[in-house]
C-alpha cells in the first residue's frame, strides 16, 4: 500500500509541476543584436595569392538605414598564420555608369577577424572591396552586396522593352500600309 502511495505521489509531482523555462530552444529573442550569431547573407571562402580568405556579411537580408557588418578572416596558406596588417574596406555602386568609390573604413584585426560596419541609405547592388598589402604584395578582394529589394528591370530591361515597342509600332504601321495598298488595288481593279 505504501509503495502505491509513494508511486502515486511521485507521479502527481512530476505531472503537476509547471515548466518554468522562458524559452525552450536556442537563445531568447531579447538577447539578439547585430553581433549575434545570426546567419550571414553571404559567406565565401576563397584563395587569393598566399592567403585563404573567408568573408561574411551580416545580417541575412541587409536593408536600407539598418546597420550591417562585414567580417573578414585571412590566414596564410603555408603556415596558417592569421593576417595582421590593416585592411581597407571600400564600396562602389555595381553599375556600368558609376566609378565613385567610397572608403568605409580601415580596420585592424580583433581576435584575427576584421569587422567593418556599414549603413546604406538606398536599395541597390554594391561591390565591397577589401584591400591590404602583405609581404610587399597588394591584395584586393571584391564581392557583391545587395541592400533591400532591387528592381528587376534595369537599364538592359528598359532597352529591350523600347526595342520591342519600336518593332511592334513598325509592324503595326506596315500592316496598315499593306491594308491601304490592298484596298486601293481592289478598288482599282473594280474601276477597270
The per-residue pLDDT for range 164-183, each reduced to its tens digit, is 888 888 888 888 888 888 88
Residue in the block written with cell 549603413: 119
Q: Which pLDDT score, from 0 to 100, does residue 159 have?
A: 83
Cell representation of residue 59: 545580417
What's the pTM? 0.60
Percentage of the chain exceeding pLDDT 90 = 27
pLDDT greater than 90 at residue 20 = no
pLDDT greater than 80 at residue 37 = no
Contact predicate 82/73, CB 8 Å = yes
Report the C-alpha gap between 113 and 82 in whole angstroms. 9
Contact predicate 137/49, CB 8 Å = yes
Q: Torsions phi, psi of 33, nearest 5?
A: -150, -170
Closest CA to 147 of 57, 72, 82: 57
The per-residue pLDDT for range 110-139, each reduced to its tens digit, is 999 999 999 989 888 888 999 999 989 999
Amino acid at each position: 500500500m505504501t509503495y502505491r502511495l509513494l508511486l502515486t505521489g511521485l507521479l502527481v509531482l512530476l505531472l503537476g509541476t509547471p515548466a518554468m523555462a522562458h524559452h525552450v530552444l536556442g537563445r531568447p529573442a531579447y538577447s539578439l543584436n547585430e553581433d549575434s550569431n545570426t546567419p550571414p547573407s553571404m559567406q565565401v571562402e576563397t584563395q587569393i595569392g598566399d592567403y585563404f580568405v573567408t568573408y561574411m556579411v551580416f545580417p541575412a537580408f541587409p536593408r536600407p538605414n539598418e546597420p550591417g557588418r562585414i567580417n573578414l578572416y585571412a590566414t596564410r596558406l603555408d603556415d596558417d598564420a592569421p593576417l595582421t596588417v590593416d585592411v581597407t574596406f571600400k564600396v562602389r555602386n555595381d553599375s556600368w555608369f558609376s566609378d565613385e568609390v567610397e572608403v568605409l573604413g580601415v580596420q585592424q584585426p580583433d581576435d584575427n577577424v576584421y569587422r567593418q560596419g556599414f549603413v546604406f541609405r538606398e536599395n541597390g547592388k554594391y561591390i565591397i572591396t577589401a584591400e591590404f598589402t602583405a609581404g610587399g604584395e597588394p591584395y584586393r578582394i571584391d564581392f557583391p552586396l545587395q541592400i533591400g529589394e532591387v528592381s528587376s528591370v534595369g537599364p538592359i530591361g528598359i532597352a529591350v522593352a523600347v526595342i520591342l515597342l519600336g518593332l511592334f509600332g513598325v509592324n503595326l504601321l506596315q500592316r496598315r500600309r499593306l491594308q491601304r495598298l490592298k484596298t486601293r488595288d481592289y478598288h482599282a481593279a473594280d474601276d477597270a
